[in-house]
Amino acid sequence: MNEIETNIKLKPCPFCGGEAGMFYYGSNGRIIKCKKCFIQKRQKVLRKSVEWLENELIKDWNNRVK
Ligand SMILES: [Zn+2]
């Protein structure tokens, strides 16, 4: 899987502190995944753009980090 460049930097994994990356999930989805423990958050969009999804996922991921 190819990693996607994100405008906003992803914070490290909230569980293990490992490096996180964003990847493709089909043509209309995205996954944010920890490269160390492989915990992941994924979602697809139907009516909104993948750009919107990317931002939402990143916001969500980064908010989980305390
Ligand atoms: Zn992790």
CA of 47 to the centre of ligand 1 (A): 30
Q: What is the pTM of this model?
A: 0.88
Locate tokens 């909104």: which residue? 48
Query: What are the mean pLDDT values of the chain's consecutive 10-residue runs (66 residues total)?
Result: 88 95 95 96 96 95 81
- Ligand 1 centre to CA of 10 (Å) is 12
Which residues pair with residue 29 across a beta bridge?
44
Q: How far is the CA of 49 from the centre of ligand 1 (A)?
A: 27
For residue 12, what pLDDT is reported?
Answer: 96
Q: What is the largest CA-CA distance in the chain?
A: 34
Count other Cβ atoms within 10 Å, centred on residue 57: 22
Sorted by where each begins, the domain ranges of the chain are 3-64
Instruction: Supply the DSSP symbol for 52.
Output: H
Vertex 54 angle, CA 21 and 16, to 5°: 35
